[in-house]
Structure 1
Amino acid sequence: MRLKLDQSNRWVTLALYIGSMLLLMEWVYPLNIVTDTGETHVFMVFIVLMFALSLLQLPVGVVSTIKGFMLLVFVHYLFVDTTFFSFEWIGLLAQDMMQNIVATMQQNWQALTPLFRTILFLLLLWMLSYLLYYWFVVVKRPFAFILLTVLYVTALDTFTLYEANTAIVRVFVLSALLLVLANFHRIVEKESLALPQPRQWVKWLAPMMFVIGISAAIGYAAPKYEPQWPDPVSFIQAASAGGFGDGPGDGGIRRVGYGENDDRLGGGFQMDDTTVFLATANSPRYWKVETKDVYTGLGWQRSSDGETIANDAGQFPEMSQYGDVVGELETDFQLQMVEPGNLTKLPYIYGTDQVGTDQTGINFEYNPITGELLSLDDGEQMLVEDSYSFEATRPDFPRNAMRQVPVEYNSESGIDEGYLQLPEDLPERVSALAEEIVAEEDQNRYDYAAAIEDYFSRNNFQYATDDVAVPDEDEDYVDQFLFETQRGYCDNFSTSMVVMLRSLDIPARWAKGFTGGDRAFQQETFPDAGSGVFEVENNNAHSWVEVYFPDVGWVPFEPTVGFQNQASFSTGESIEDILEDNEDDTLDQPDSSEQSDVNDQLDEGSDEDETGAAASGDGPTISLWTTVIVSVIVVVTGGLVFYYRDHLTTAWRKRQLKHHPNQSTITQSYQFVMKLLAKEGYPFKPGETLREYASQADRVLDGKSMSELTQYYERFVYRDESLDARTSDYYQVWTRVTDQILSK
């Protein structure tokens, strides 16, 4: 269905439509704060394009084709590394769509890939551009969407970290303007009043703008009462017995936070929102603290405490030892401890290779066996009050290279066989389940690990922080979780994945630390970092899995339901490509088990362009700048087409009338003249005859051309006269009438 628009005043129409677009953007602004979404400007550009195309009123087929093409361009920029619209690209997209359709039919929502979820979100923005066009421009009823926007912004301000102080002012001012314009225009139409000329609009708008501006300024600057009720978020958290963390498990409630003792896992615990540290970062990242390698059946221990490496300058290349096939992006960040509690070691992101602090007398040591980074003052382990500065070459793990690694452990791979350790009394059904999970997978280490990572979400395992079982002395922690409770938190999921991987002869270990935390806006620790500061609390204590890949290194995996892997992944190049001097090879398609975060893909889009590490296509990919330039060209072109649309339509109608004169084209051409007159403020009134209407129009056109055109039209349509004799005369009169109207 193509929207029909009564544009008795194009400027009011345009203002309403732009206002609806700006309101929709208020829904997208908070996404990088309340979720892990990054690069929200990509969605902003998409919104502008969708609205511009809807406004042009081109044929629905043309608009849909252009919008579909732009959607594919944005998806390609965000996710695909191959050449745009190549056979390889089409194959990758088709395979991903088929996998997600199957997952949707099975109602396995956790298995939906980031690419598919992003397509759904872009389709939603597409549909909203159409619906808002109808609500704001056609029927001029914007109140419902305005109310939803106000509720949305205020709810985010109340229940999330999003600060809506300026957003609510923007929404108020914009909403007031839109409501006034829509209601004024509706009254004018209802009462058949003549709209003021564009120059007169200033007199109408100035008082309205003054009142709205004064109201907004007073509301923003006026003193506010302190909160009259407790913070609902704190109240909800206090009323909940949920949480997650580490520490000794006794089956009772445990306090969340980082703990040293993991000998006995299990049991529930309470939430603790104490801030452990603040850190600068572009996007959420795992903050690693340590790893453990011995699974006892009840918890985790270490086979060796290892030996630390000391370096007064804080340089530890051993921390970021990855193969040549791993892409790297240089970055730096800062970390300020607030209330570390039980934490005595420095958290760091993957790829960190140097650490320092302004406090004098501080030395650093790194333990390559346990992964611990220590801060020492005169030989005593401590965390300083000053901030720490880090440098890192953040890894971008290549899936293709990891798919080239055989499943079975090889003693020549350079990794200790201890990472295959399992208790002798491990129930056989654990290893049998692991073999069943990977039975239909390609026999390589990455696909096996990804299949097990995805197993829990595909089989309705529940993430829970209360009523979590504690195994008896003669029970196995993993066996109980996999076959009895299927309910737990990060420790249950990560431990189970490590054990199943080891049962398949894949080296793996248990990693501990923190998730990325939430963006901190009201902080003074890093005043120049803006929104690039994350607050990590005790609630963010977490555990995950690391799998070893020769020529790549230790790669993190995230099996916990409801969590996304915060490491960076790309298609990458295979080992064969490197050995054969970059000879082209077929790219493998990531399957639905690869739980890459949509937000990681958004954040890494620009990073990959800088480093080139993720590029593996045969030709250049479309960059964001190219997309922006194309978008600007499309918008400008669309604006010109919109502005001169009547002239363009007239030219097309003129051509049709000249080369294909028949009853249909004559009828359409006459109705088009009526539309042009309606836009000039002279619509056809109910009960009025065509001759009466033509007579009124002639007064505007200063002649009798419209009456003459109407006589021809009536003879052709109502008297069924032959068209051959007078079509040229009708054509000349029609041309004269349209030229007169367009010259007004």
Structure 2
Amino acid sequence: MSQTVEKRIDIQSFLMNVLGFLLLWEWMRPLTVIGDTSELYMFIIFIGICFLLLFFQVKRILAAIIKLIVIFYMIHSIYYKGLFLDFAWIQDAILEFGHNIELLFRANWLEMTSIFRSLLFFILLWLMSYLIHFWMIHQKRILFFLVLTVSYITVLDTFSPYDAKYAIIRTIIIGFLVLGVLQFERIKGKEQLERYTDIGKKWSIPLLVFVLLSSTFAYLSPKASPQWPDPVPFLTGYGKGGEGAGGVGIKRIGYGTNDSNLGGPFLADDRVVFTVEARKRNYWRVETKDQYTGKGWEASAKLEQMPFIQENTVLNWYEGNAETEEAQAEIEMKMDYSHITYPAGLTSVEVDPDIVFSADPLTEKIRSYRGADAIKLKEYTVNYEYARFPINQLREVTGTGGLELEPGFLESYTQLPNSLPQRVRDLANEITSTKENRYEKVKAVESYFNNNSFLYDTVNVAIPASDQDYVDQFLFETQTGYCDNFSTSMIVLLRAVGIPSRWVKGYTEGEHKHGRIYEVTNNNAHSWVEVYFPEFGWVPFEPTKGFSNSNQFTIDLTSNGNNAETPVPQPEQDKPNLQDKLEKDPEVSSNNNNKSLLDQVKFEFSWKYFLIFLLSVILIGYVLFITRMKWLPFILIKAYKGKKNDNVYFKAYNALLKQLERAGISRKEGQTLRDFARYVDSFYHSDDMEKLTLSYERALYRRDNAIKEWEKSVELWENLIKKVSS
């Protein structure tokens, strides 16, 4: 008999779809721990909608329209404000998607925005839900995906903070149920048991009892303890001693006060440090340091603490040419610290009137006191100036000025140890030699880490030996590290060409939860670079791969030649746009006023990525060729089954002959169609091919009834196509 896939809506099909949904859900659960995926429930809801549409067998076009509407509604709910039907947000979304597609073709994955990554993730879940449904309902196989799921969970449990103790139990229970149901489906089809209506109940009860009892017994039974410690510290901690290790082992990420010996791996820590409600995306400062020792950072002096009550009268970051706007953020601490975290541009802190703050003018670390006792604040509100920096004016900075004229300033912020290898200084001169102003030199150094083979990694990070410079090791040997490596190296390169800069440590903006709420954990601990520009103040830069600057840089495209004073409009939210493209590519000249913004964005052709694309196409083509017996029948059925004309029968029959030939059953030279049909039937133990051939011959010799013969035989032809391809 031919094996056809029945389209049915029954309890068994519903059960398999539910189990498939639960299995895919297990892939989603770790994302809140190992990644920065927020609003996870929306992705889970989307998976459920996909399986529901597949279960109810909604037509593909209609199902695709429904899924697209759901995707865009969810993206709007996460990233945009206002009503979904307002459609005002679509223009911003189109521009953003266009910009990200350009980045996609340029293989610049790290610069893609969260909105576009969410869209790609939705599409991936769409495909995964269909594949799981296809494997279970059509192929009646799921073992490979089940093994893959177990492997995925166990690897994450071993090498990440994710605890997969209960995930393994859930996966095994779901997997055994799926395997049992699919085995029953295969037996039912093979033994022709469809006519027994209650056989499903008789099969399901012992299956459920077996799975529950075996899982309970496995969970409660005694287990051997691990034979060796956690492999992550075991693999990364040992063998890293060397001369320079100095007993430095595996560290845990988070804020620490000692930065004198940087390097080495660290463990992730998802404990929440504080939550913040803010309209602007900000980096959160704790302190700065100015003296690079060759191994890490220290403060060059300990200045007298300067107090203030609420209004910040001690620290200042920006000067007259920096464009600022007033902003506010409400911070709720979850961990106890006697210092506060704050954004650059802090103007005041709203807190109880008996609280006094003490600031170090050099490190800019602000501590809180009640009387003479240090106090750990739980809640406070910071008012600050959010800065935008005009690129056109930053490019005009070529000489010294401002604070640089004060005694000791340049000595402090261009300081480098005498032991710094000469090749570091040579590299700095090489990177900046063709740049004419300070801004372009800084951007050239910042871009150097993105345009070369540097890797962001928190595990495989070396510790310099006792006679080895921390930056030199990163730039010329390992080229692998995390924020401390990138930020310190950028500062050293800038100082090597006389540009004053300093090291800042604190936290990134954290994970967006809902509305204006962000959650900052120890995993968000970070360091970055600030460069001094006369008449602008301290300007932040971000060299670390995978991170983006929280401040905006603006460019006035009409500043030369048109005498226009209207600035380029800035988006309300901190979203990447085409203007950011100009900022990241200093070679795009602002003098091309007669060209549109899109014309000025350069597309760089890369043979490397072209070859990767070409090899990918060849690989995909090869895979499609060797698997053509599996997917080609569906195309043939789609192409011929619904057609009704005089030639469709003859084309369909020839397609069947070619498919038989692909399966290794070829028609011999001189062999009649009837003889060949009997040979095929003997191979498949049926008489379907002979029946179809007799009908085909009637249509062939009596052309007036070809359509009627095709209508009578189309199901027989379809069964043969599927049988040959199985």
TM range (shorter): 0.5 to 0.7
1:696 counterpart residue number: none
Structure 1 residues 534 and 195: CA distance shift in structure 2, 3 A: farther
1:252 counterpart residue number: 246
Structure 2 distance, partners of 1:406, 1:388, is: 42
1:152 counterpart residue number: 152
Higher relative contact order (CA 8 A, sep 6+): 1
2:31 counterpart residue number: 31
2:612 counterpart residue number: none
Structure 2 distance, partners of 1:480, 1:250, is: 12
Q: Which SS does the other structure have where 2:5 is aligned? A: coil
Structure 1 residues 304 and 137: CA distance shift in structure 2, 3 A: same
* Structure 1 residues 203-602: aligned runs within 5 Å: 203=201, 207=205, 211=209, 215=213, 228-229=225-226, 232-233=229-230, 236=233, 240=237, 252-254=246-248, 265-266=260-261, 278-280=273-275, 288-295=285-292, 300-302=298-300, 305=303, 308-311=306-309, 331-337=329-335, 345-348=339-342, 362-367=355-360, 369-380=362-373, 382-384=374-376, 388-391=378-381, 405-406=394-395, 408=397, 418=409, 421-423=414-416, 429-438=423-432, 444-445=439-440, 447-454=443-450, 457-458=453-454, 467-471=463-467, 478=471, 482=475, 491-504=484-497, 506-513=499-506, 536=522, 543-547=527-531, 554-559=539-544, 564-565=546-547, 568=550, 574-575=555-556, 580-582=566-568, 587-589=579-581
* Structure 1 residues 51-62: aligned runs within 5 Å: none
CA-atom RMSD in angstroms: 6.5
Q: Which SS does the other structure have where 2:230 is aligned? A: helix
Q: After superposition, what is the alpha-carbon deviation per residue over 1:678-698, rounded to whole angstroms, capped at 9, x for unaligned?
A: xxxxxx9954546999xxxxx
The letter of the residue matching 2:209 is V
Alpha-carbon distance, 1:661 to partner: 6.4
Contact 2:272 2:521 in 1 (8 A): yes
Contact 1:308 1:366 in 2 (8 A): yes
Q: After superposition, what is the alpha-carbon deviation per residue over 1:564-610, rounded to whole angstroms, capped at 9, x for unaligned?
A: 4376477x75456895154699635379999xxxxxxxxxxxxxxxx
Q: After superposition, what is the alpha-carbon deviation per residue over 1:415-442, rounded to whole angstroms, capped at 9, x for unaligned?
A: 8873652459676643441243356889
Structure 1 residues 372 and 23: CA distance shift in structure 2, 3 A: same
Contact 2:285 2:342 in 1 (8 A): yes
The letter of the residue matching 1:279 is F
Structure 1 residues 60 and 157: CA distance shift in structure 2, 3 A: same
Q: Percent sequence identity over matched residues?
A: 25
Tell me the TM-score normalised to structure 1 length: 0.59
Q: After superposition, what is the alpha-carbon deviation per residue over 1:465-500, rounded to whole angstroms, capped at 9, x for unaligned?
A: 65513348xxx7655764578687765543321122
Contact 2:283 2:343 in 1 (8 A): yes
1:721 counterpart residue number: 701
Contact 1:430 1:500 in 2 (8 A): yes
Structure 1 distance, partners of 2:460, 2:173, is: 43
1:182 correspondence with 2:166: no
Tell me the TM-score normalised to structure 2 length: 0.60
1:161 correspondence with 2:161: yes
Structure 1 residues 260 and 25: CA distance shift in structure 2, 3 A: closer
Q: Which SS does the other structure have where 1:589 is aligned? A: helix
Structure 2 distance, partners of 1:491, 1:565, is: 13
Structure 1 residues 311 and 566: CA distance shift in structure 2, 3 A: farther
Structure 1 residues 506 and 720: CA distance shift in structure 2, 3 A: same
Contact 1:335 1:388 in 2 (8 A): yes
Structure 2 distance, partners of 1:726, 1:410, is: 92
Contact 2:428 2:494 in 1 (8 A): yes
Contact 2:262 2:470 in 1 (8 A): no
Structure 1 distance, partners of 2:110, 2:32, is: 20
The letter of the residue matching 1:144 is F
Contact 1:5 1:137 in 2 (8 A): no
Alpha-carbon distance, 1:114 to partner: 4.4
1:103 counterpart residue number: none
Q: Which SS does the other structure have where 2:140 is aligned? A: coil
Contact 1:285 1:516 in 2 (8 A): yes
Structure 1 distance, partners of 2:182, 2:385, is: 53
Alpha-carbon distance, 1:228 to partner: 3.7
Alpha-carbon distance, 1:218 to partner: 5.8
Structure 2 distance, partners of 1:202, 1:393, is: 67
Q: After superposition, what is the alpha-carbon deviation per residue over 1:210-247, rounded to whole angstroms, capped at 9, x for unaligned?
A: 63896599679x87879944894388369825999xxx
Unaligned runs of 5+ in 2: 81-88, 560-564, 571-576, 587-596, 599-635, 657-680, 717-726
Structure 2 distance, partners of 1:316, 1:428, is: 38
Alpha-carbon distance, 1:310 to partner: 1.1
Structure 2 distance, partners of 1:467, 1:732, is: 76
1:106 counterpart residue number: none
Structure 1 distance, partners of 2:306, 2:473, is: 36
Q: Which SS does the other structure have where 2:450 is aligned? A: helix
Structure 1 residues 501 and 232: CA distance shift in structure 2, 3 A: same
Structure 1 residues 45 and 315: CA distance shift in structure 2, 3 A: farther
Q: After superposition, what is the alpha-carbon deviation per residue over 1:369-398, rounded to whole angstroms, capped at 9, x for unaligned?
A: 532110213234x353xx522445799987
Structure 1 residues 449 and 215: CA distance shift in structure 2, 3 A: farther
Contact 1:663 1:716 in 2 (8 A): yes
* Structure 1 residues 31-180: aligned runs within 5 Å: 31-40=31-40, 44=44, 83-84=92-93, 90=98, 93-94=101-102, 96-100=104-108, 113-114=111-112, 118=117, 128-129=128-129, 131-157=131-157, 159-164=159-164, 167-168=167-168, 170-180=170-180
Unaligned runs of 5+ in 1: 101-110, 520-530, 595-615, 618-648, 671-683, 694-709, 738-744
1:7 correspondence with 2:1: no
The letter of the residue matching 1:94 is E
Contact 1:450 1:593 in 2 (8 A): no
Q: Which SS does the other structure have where 1:182 is aligned? A: helix
The letter of the residue matching 2:20 is S
Contact 1:326 1:552 in 2 (8 A): no
Alpha-carbon distance, 1:26 to partner: 1.5
Structure 1 residues 51 and 336: CA distance shift in structure 2, 3 A: closer
The letter of the residue matching 2:237 is S
Q: Which SS does the other structure have where 2:36 is aligned? A: coil
The letter of the residue matching 1:98 is R
Contact 2:500 2:531 in 1 (8 A): yes
Q: After superposition, what is the alpha-carbon deviation per residue over 1:116-151, rounded to whole angstroms, capped at 9, x for unaligned?
A: 995987776566456534532332121232233234
2:661 counterpart residue number: none
Structure 2 distance, partners of 1:661, 1:328, is: 75
Contact 2:47 2:129 in 1 (8 A): yes
Q: Which SS does the other structure have where 2:16 is aligned? A: helix
Alpha-carbon distance, 1:184 to partner: 0.7
The letter of the residue matching 2:379 is S
The letter of the residue matching 1:188 is K
